[in-house]
Amino acid sequence: MSNKNIIFILHKPQLSENIGACARAIKNFNFKKMIVVDPKPIYPNDKILATSVGAKNIINTSKIFDNLETALKNIDVVIATSARFRNKNIKHIQLEDLKKIDYKKKVAFLFGSEASGLSNNEISYANYTLQIPTNPDFKSLNLSHSLIIIAQFVHSIINSKFFSFQKSSKVQPASKKDILSMSNLCLKNLDEIGFFKPKEKKPIMLENLRNIFYKMELSSKETRILSSVFASLGKKR
């Protein structure tokens, strides 16, 4: 089982030292891919490269995006990390549940900024939320520490001789890009018929609808069918 499908996404990181340390942790466990979304410091910079130590290749080959939605377009499964439980319509998992993930798909682990973590809106793009077990009176972990715990755990899973995840090759899972396109089409049609009322509740309604689409684990065929349905409904107005 290869590590090539595992991606670590840093969303709005604030400190150069943490970005460099994350790159180092990624290389420690033989992963290759890092995405940085809207970083606060200039990216890359000398401090990032210095703290990455021997992992400059991770920095140099990383991808940078202005927004989260674009960064997730080619991802199949998104696992968002959070220090607190979110009362959202989304699947909450623990470290042990990572053994059930299909790593033949493109799997991304999403980390929020050091100051505020991930907002509910950002988490609504995820298939799962993951909470690392810590002291309940002191839950907050450093960004790079969170990443290295997850990287080590996933590394042990995909390199274990007991790893034997099997899934039918006949079912082609929908890509994150396809799900985004389908959900945006649905939301556009709903917006045009004035579904989002009152207006102040629109953001939370959008989050809830995205949560529904992402937790369904749709196949590529199912996504195409739903897209056709939403497109047809839009034409009939």
Total of domains in the chain? 2
- The overall average pLDDT reported for the chain is 88
Same domain, 31 and 117: yes
> Is 77 in a helix, a strand, or coil?
strand
Q: Which of 41 and 192 is assigned the larger pLDDT?
A: 41
**Are 110 and 79 within 8 A, CB to CB?**
yes
Among the candidates 131, 158, 185, a domain finishes at 158
Same domain, 120 and 53: yes
Report yes or no on 164 lying in a domain.
no
> Is 207 in a helix, a strand, or coil?
helix
Q: Is the bond leading into 39 cis (omega within 30 degrees of zero)? A: no
Report yes or no on 107 lying in a domain.
yes
Same domain, 228 and 131: no
Phi, psi torsion values for 219, nearest 5 degrees: -85, 165
pTM of the model: 0.74
- Residue range of the domain that includes 53: 6-158
pLDDT given for residue 180 in this prediction: 85
Report yes or no on 15 lying in a domain.
yes
Report yes or no on 168 lying in a domain.
no
41-50, 122-131, 165-174: least confidently modelled range: 165-174
Element (H, E) at 174: none
In angstroms and rounded to an integer, the radius of gyration of the C-alpha atoms of the chain is 19
Same domain, 70 and 144: yes
Same domain, 152 and 203: no
The pLDDT tens digits of the residues spanning 154-180 come to 999 988 854 555 555 567 878 878 888
Same domain, 32 and 62: yes
pLDDT level of residue 86 (50, 70, 90 thresholds): low
pLDDT given for residue 44 in this prediction: 95
CATH number at residue 130: 3.40.1280.10
Same domain, 72 and 131: yes
Same domain, 10 and 76: yes
pLDDT given for residue 163 in this prediction: 52
Report yes or no on 170 lying in a domain.
no
Distance CA 210, CA 124 (A): 6
Same domain, 205 and 120: no
Among all chains, which residue has been given the structure tokens 């995909």? 158
Same domain, 133 and 85: yes
Same domain, 56 and 149: yes
Same domain, 104 and 220: no
- For the segment 48-70, the average pLDDT, to the nearest whole number, is 96
Distance CA 213, CA 236 (A): 23
What the block records as the tokens of 89 is 């319509």
Among all chains, which residue has been given the structure tokens 């009152």? 198
